[in-house]
């Protein structure tokens, strides 16, 4: 198997139907290269982006088709995504999606990890020297120490659960991360599943828009349609806590 993208996919007609049902405002891009460049710029500026492309993943991980993305360099990103997007405890870790060809630039691993199932140490040259008594600190004190130059995905033990992204397996996601690298020099992003705490991972465009509007995500990309939070009409269906039981 070369990828786990085995679930349903949706057409532009489905996305336009979603937009009509919510009177949602969007920008449509004919060229995916332009879209990935624009999205990479949003990530670089510290925004959180819902990313919905192609067929849904099958399995235990979001692998770039039903994902929420952020900048791994941003020391506030882990807290922001936990508290304002996922609505869960601030200490919960996030995983990186890294260009397959760049994986050894960041992690002590010599094989691809396409399914985000391997946990590997962050390279020594990317780590910050821990303060004296680091191992004796409380979890929360250790959590908010900036352990590396990619703090949003570096666990308290200097490890990360890695997903490598292959150009052939997922060309659009690979292009997005490549665009981010062109801007920042970093060929990886934060990747977490597109859902809130207690909610199943989203599947349809309608699922994606409702999750987007119920959280503090800044932008939503579905196919080649970009939705900006500040442009959207008021959204009244905001009681996800009553719909989904917290884990």
List pLDDT tens digits, range 85-143: 888 877 778 999 999 999 999 999 999 999 999 999 999 999 999 888 888 888 778 87
Pairing of strands 225-228, 66-70: unpaired
Whether the predicted pLDDT of 242 surpasses 80: no
DSSP annotation of 57 reads: B
pLDDT at 243: 60
DSSP SS3 for 143: helix
Residue 147 half-sphere exposure, CB side, CA atoms within 13 Å?
22
pLDDT of 244 over the 70 cut: no
pLDDT at 219 over 80: yes
Model confidence at 238: pLDDT above 70: no
Q: What is the rounded CA–CA span in Å between residue 9 and residue 203? A: 9
Helix, strand or coil for residue 27?
strand
Mean pLDDT of all residues belonging to the chain: 92
Candidate CATH numbers 3.90.1150.10, 3.90.870.20, 3.40.50.1970, 1.10.10.10; the one for domain 12-243: 3.90.870.20
What is the average per-residue pLDDT within 37-56?
A: 98
pTM (two decimals): 0.94
Residues 188 and 40: their CA atoms lie apart, in Å, by 11
Select from 239, 77, 246 the least CA-distant residue to 152.
77
Identify the band that residue 66 occupies on the pLDDT scale cut at 50, 70 and 90: very high
d(CA 174, CA 65): 11
Report whether pLDDT(240) > 70. no
Q: What is the pLDDT of residue 164?
A: 98
Asked if 146 and 137 count as a contact pair (C-beta separation under 8 A), the reply is no
Strand partners for 52: 66, 222
pLDDT at res. 59? 87
Beta bridge mates, 159: 121
What is the band of 76 on the pLDDT scale with cuts at 50, 70, 90?
very high
pLDDT for res 194: 96
Q: pLDDT-derived band of residue 12, with 50, 70 and 90 as boundaries?
A: very high
What three-state secondary structure class fits 31?
coil
The average pLDDT across 75-90 equals 86
| Alpha helices (runs of H) in the chain, residue ranges in sequence order | 12-22, 32-44, 77-80, 103-106, 139-143, 171-184, 205-214, 240-243
Q: What is the pLDDT of residue 10?
A: 98
Check whether 247 has a pLDDT greater than 60.
Answer: no
User: What is the DSSP annotation of 72-130?
Assistant: TT-TTHHHHIIIIII-S-TT---EEEEEGGGHHHHBS-SS--TTS-EEEEBPGGGBPPP
Q: Which of 238, 241, 244 is nearest to 214 (CA)?
A: 238
Spatial strand order of the sheet with 219-222 comes to 27-28, 225-228, 219-222, 49-52, 66-70, 188-193, 95-99, 159-165, 118-121
């Amino acid at each position: 198997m070369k990828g786990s993208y085995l679930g349903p996919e949706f057409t532009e007609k489905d996305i336009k139907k979603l937009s009509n049902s919510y009177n949602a405002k969007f920008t449509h891009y004919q060229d995916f290269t332009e879209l990935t460049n624009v999205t990479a710029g949003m990530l670089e500026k510290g925004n959180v982006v819902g990313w919905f492309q192609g067929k849904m993943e099958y399995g235990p991980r979001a692998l770039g088709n039903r994902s929420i993305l952020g900048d791994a360099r941003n020391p506030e990103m882990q807290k922001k995504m936990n508290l304002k997007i996922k609505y869960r405890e601030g200490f919960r870790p996030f995983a990186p999606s890294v260009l397959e060809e760049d994986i050894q630039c960041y992690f002590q691993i010599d094989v691809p990890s396409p399914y985000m199932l391997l946990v590997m140490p962050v390279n020594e040259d990317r780590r910050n020297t821990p303060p004296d008594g680091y191992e004796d600190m409380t979890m929360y004190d250790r959590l908010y120490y900036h352990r590396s130059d990619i703090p949003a995905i570096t666990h308290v033990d200097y490890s990360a659960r890695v997903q490598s992204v292959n150009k052939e397996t997922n060309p659009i996601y690979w292009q997005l991360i490549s665009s981010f690298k062109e801007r920042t020099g970093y060929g990886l992003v934060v990747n977490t599943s597109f859902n809130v705490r207690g909610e199943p991972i989203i599947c349809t465009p309608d699922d994606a828009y409702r999750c987007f509007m119920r959280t503090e995500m800044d932008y939503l990309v579905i196919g080649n349609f970009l939705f900006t939070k500040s442009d959207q009409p008021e959204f009244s269906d905001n009681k996800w806590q009553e719909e989904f039981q917290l884990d």
